[in-house]
Each structure stands twice: as structure tokens, then as C-alpha cells.
């Protein structure tokens, strides 16, 4: 069993409610895929594909996927990703991106999404990024603004 990153990097100044455990994603956390299905399409990923993708992320050393585990059931009920992108601009600075924030439907309303965001903002500050950004649905803008984000550039995408 391997962790995506060392749990020592998790902030100590964000309180985790009783009954939950915050930790890095592990290479046997196949339940994470079930949770991601509540965010968007995941498609079919077998354990081999999961492990290979996990290994590639670990090797890249710029993926920080944190998961919230419900202690009683050992189920992952929340997760969020901090991705660090290396740049030449800003004195070879780093940009942080928050991705794939998801909380299990039956666990919503317990402020677990707030907690995950606080954790990743703290980690981004510790790692040292000049900018932290995310994309979200319009109705979630007020939620994310609570963590210091401002509406700024327009976001464009194309899908294949
Ligand atoms: C949301 C996520 C983004 C994810 C996308 C998936 C956050 C803050 N944003 O925008 O990270 O990639 O949903 O939707 O969690 P898609 O499958 O339509 O790209």
C-alpha cells in the first residue's frame, strides 16, 4: 500500500470532525472512483488502470489528492485535489489548481467541502504557489468565494 504523498504535509491547523480521518489517497483506494462518479463521468477503470494512473501521479510529485474517510465504515466520503503546475514565469514559480472536489451525497451539509477547501488552500500556501485557481459551476461561485477566490479571467474549453 502506497500513499500519493506524505501525510506529514497535511495542515495541522484545520480541525477534522470526530469520526473522520483526513489522509492522502492510497493506491488501494478504489472507492475513490465511486465517489468521483458523483462529480462527473468516470467510465470504466479497472484496478490495474487505477494503479498505473496512481503511480504516474506519484512519480510526477505534483498531485495532492486528499481524502476524508468515515472511520466507522472506512469509506471515502470526500476528496479534493491540489495540482501544482511548474512555471518559468514568476521566477520559476508554481501555480496551484484545485480540482475534483466532491463530497458523498449523504454527507452533504456537514461542511466537509469547506474543510477540504481549507486544507488545500493551506497546503498550497505551504508549498508556495503564486496563484491558486479553480473552475466551477456558476451556482458554486459564492461557495468558493468564501475561500478567497475572486472571479477573474474567463475560462474557455473545448471537448474531444
Ligand atoms: C468541476 C471541478 C473540476 C472537474 C470538473 C469535471 C472543482 C473545483 N471543479 O468543475 O475540477 O474537473 O468539475 O467536470 O472541483 P467535467 O467532467 O464536466 O469536466
34-61 confidence digits (pLDDT tens): 999 999 999 999 999 999 999 999 999 9
Cell numbers given for 73: 465504515
Is 81 strand, coil or helix?
strand
Q: How confident is the model at residue 153 (pLDDT cuts 50, 70, 90)?
A: confident
Longest dimension (CA), the chain: 46
13: left (phi over 0), alpha (psi -120 to 50) or beta: alpha
- Beta carbon of 100 within 6 Å of any ligand 1 atom: yes
Q: How many CA atoms lie within 13 A of 130 on its CB side?
A: 10
- Beta carbon of 158 within 6 Å of any ligand 1 atom: no
Of 85, 99, 116, the residue with max ligand 1 atoms within 8 A of its CB, to mutate for a pocket test, comes to 99
How large a percentage of the chain has pLDDT more than 70?
A: 100
CB 86 within 8 A of CB 62: yes
Amino acid at each position: 500500500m502506497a500513499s500519493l504523498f506524505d501525510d506529514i504535509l497535511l495542515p495541522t491547523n484545520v480541525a477534522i470532525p470526530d469520526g473522520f480521518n483526513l489522509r492522502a489517497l492510497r493506491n488501494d483506494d478504489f472507492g475513490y472512483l465511486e465517489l468521483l462518479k458523483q462529480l462527473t463521468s468516470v467510465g470504466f477503470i479497472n484496478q490495474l488502470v487505477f494503479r498505473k494512473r496512481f503511480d504516474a501521479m506519484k512519480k510526477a510529485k505534483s498531485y495532492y489528492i486528499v481524502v476524508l474517510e468515515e472511520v466507522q465504515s472506512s469509506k471515502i466520503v470526500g476528496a479534493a485535489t491540489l495540482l501544482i503546475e511548474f512555471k518559468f514565469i514568476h521566477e520559476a514559480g508554481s501555480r496551484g489548481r484545485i480540482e475534483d472536489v466532491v463530497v458523498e451525497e449523504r454527507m452533504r451539509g456537514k461542511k466537509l467541502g469547506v474543510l477540504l477547501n481549507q486544507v488545500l488552500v493551506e497546503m498550497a500556501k505551504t508549498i508556495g504557489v503564486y496563484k491558486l485557481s479553480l473552475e466551477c459551476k456558476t451556482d458554486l461561485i459564492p461557495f468558493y468565494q468564501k475561500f478567497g477566490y475572486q472571479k477573474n479571467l474567463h475560462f474557455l474549453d473545448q471537448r474531444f
